[in-house]
Structure 1
Amino acid sequence: MNEERATIISKTLSRVLRHNPGANGGVAIDLQGFTDLVTFVPYLNTLGPFDKSPVSLEEIEEVVGSDFKKRFQIAGGRIRAYSGHSFQVDIGGEAFYPAGPLYFGTTETSRRVLNEGLTVSKKLKVRLSYSYPEALEIASARPGDRPLVIEVDAERLAADGASFELLPNGEIVTDPIGPDYLVEAQAHKAVHLPHPHP
């Protein structure tokens, strides 16, 4: 599969699984974020561009399996997105208590978040990375701009009452974060703690 088709499949999975439950006669997504592949694949093939070039289950499995961000899960004939939802789901994460900073990977065009805070639009939670290299990899994968890694004073944020959740794919999510907890991360100063999911 070429990179362009893989990207289209990945973006479509994100759009439908994160933001489109049941829309326009679409697929039903349960409280854990899962939908059955037996109905999901035919539904995708009613959407452009797959209405002209159908996507197969094998292609979906390849995209999910090769995604370095681990954004999706296939299990028991079902598929779900791990995070980024605009509707309530229970992914089955566990309470997480940060013992140091966390990181957010973005690009220079979003530098304003250092003054405005990490907010959410459609998504209900902010997704954070456990390490600077992980956040930099995410930031570098965004096309068209220079990567920017933001350090979150997560330990102080937790002490001030914020709660964090560690998802099964290793992502950490929390509610929107004010600018007082954010600084631009510097690679040589970044703190590297053991990852909770080795």
Structure 2
Amino acid sequence: MNEKEMVRLSKRLSSWLRHNPDAIGLRPDEAGWVRVQDLLSQAAAHSRGFTRAQLDLVVEQNNKKRFEFDASGTSIRARQGHSIEVDLGYTPADPPEILYHGTAERTLGLIMAEGLLPMRRHAVHLSADIATAVNVGGRHGRPAVLRVDTVAMRAAGHEFFVTGNGVWLVDAVPPQYLELLPTPR
């Protein structure tokens, strides 16, 4: 499987496991898990088939590590980013003092007025490093990076969660905890 095919399959999996399982007749459980055999058979039934070996490759080698298998390897889910109702079961975690959020510059006015909101997802996604935030922000235009004061947020009672691929999650980030960093180059 070449890189282009891997990206294509990763995007399909993201759509099915995070947003639209009905598109191929999947029924995730309350934690977002889908039996691998159901995923393979339903994808094939909808002319989108792939092999278990290809699935393993995407889970293991995808640079964003969006997916995970359960301990038995018989079920799969997306680690975060769902627009469907799921309870991922993450426990609160102590974040670093500063986290970052990457966005497109054109969204800054609204964000600085209203804060970071989950929009169509269940949580706001934050990263522990600026480079990741720049990469995320650049997906939809010229990137802007916001620094999130997690110390003050935790003191105000906000809870943070971390996924297996290092993405930090929080319900929302009010604007008083945000600082715009100089434009990344």
Alignment TM-score, normalising by the size of structure 1: 0.79
Residue matched to 1:128: 126
Task: Name the count of aligned residue pairs.
Answer: 181
In structure 2, what is the equivalent of residue 62 of structure 1? 57
Structure 2 residue ranges without an equivalent (≥5): none
Relative to 1, partners in 2 of residues 1:72 and 1:25: Cα closer, same or farther, differing over 3 Å? closer
Q: How many angstroms apart in 2 are the aligned matches of 1:97 and 1:54?
A: 41
Corresponding residue SS for 2:117: coil
Among 101, 106, 110, the residue aligned to 2:107: 110
8 A contact 1:132–1:187 mirrored in 2: no
Q: Following superposition of structure 1 onto structure 2, how do residues 148-159 of structure 1 map, counting pairs within 5 Å?
A: 148-159=144-155
The aligned amino acid for 1:181 is Y
Distance 1:8 1:46 in 2: 18
Inter-partner Cα distance in structure 2 for 1:171 and 1:109: 23
Q: Deviations over 1:141-160 (max 9, x none)?
A: x2x63322211112111211
**Of Structure 1 and Structure 2, which has the larger fraction of its residues in helix?**
2
- Partners of 2:23 and 2:65 in 1: how far apart? 28
The question of whether the paired residues in 2 share the 8 Å contact of 1:93 and 1:165 is answered with yes
For the Cα contact (< 8 Å) 1:101–1:153, is it kept in 2? yes
Distance 1:5 1:25 in 2: 19
Match of 2:19 in 1: 19
Residue number in structure 2 paired with 1:191: none
Q: Secondary structure at the match of 1:149?
A: strand
- 1:137–1:185 distance in 2 versus 1, CA, 3 Å: same
Q: Is the 8 A contact 1:92 1:168 kept in 2?
A: no
Q: 1:184 to 1:105 in 2, by over 3 A?
A: same
What's the TM-score once normalised by structure 2's chain length?
0.83
**Does the 8 A contact of 2:90 with 2:161 survive in 1?**
yes
Secondary structure of the 2:146 match is strand
**Offset of residue 46 of structure 1:** 3.9
Contact (CA 8 Å) 1:93, 1:168: kept in 2 or not?
no
Q: What is the RMSD computed on CA atoms of the aligned residues?
A: 2.4
